[in-house]
């Protein structure tokens, strides 16, 4: 499930700069010539550090959008 966001300052729902720390393990497959192909990348840990509104250029007003909120917004519209 993906988390959606909303900027409460400008109402933006679609454009965000997301800073994420990700710890991964992957199979690095080198050819004899030394060319690398990364395979089977597995995400061991993922942490979203900051979500910044693309228009406001600020993370201050950005809130995660719950599935329930989305349905409530549609119902009231
Ligand atoms: Zn904004």
Environment of ion ligand 1 (residues, CB < 5 A)? 7, 9-10, 12, 53, 55-56
Distance 60 CA to ligand 1 centre (A): 9
Pairing state between β 62-65 and 4-7: antiparallel
- pLDDT tens-digit readout, 23-49: 999 999 999 999 999 999 999 999 999
Please give the C-alpha separations between residue 41 and each of 24, 51, 57, in angstroms, as whole numbers.
7, 24, 31
Distance 17 CA to ligand 1 centre (A): 11
Q: Are 54 and 16 in contact (CB under 8 A)?
A: yes
* Confidence grade of residue 10 (pLDDT, cut at 50, 70, 90): very high
What domain range is 42 assigned to?
4-76
Distance 14 CA to ligand 1 centre (A): 10
Tally of domains in the chain: 1
């Amino acid at each position: 499930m993906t988390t959606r966001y909303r900027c409460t300052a400008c109402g933006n729902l679609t454009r965000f700069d997301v800073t994420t720390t990700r710890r991964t393990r992957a199979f690095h497959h080198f050819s004899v010539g030394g060319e690398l192909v990364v395979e089977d990348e597995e995400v061991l840990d993922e942490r979203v550090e900051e979500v910044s509104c693309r228009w406001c250029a600020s993370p201050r007003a950005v809130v995660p959008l719950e599935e329930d909120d989305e349905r409530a917004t549609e119902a009231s519209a």
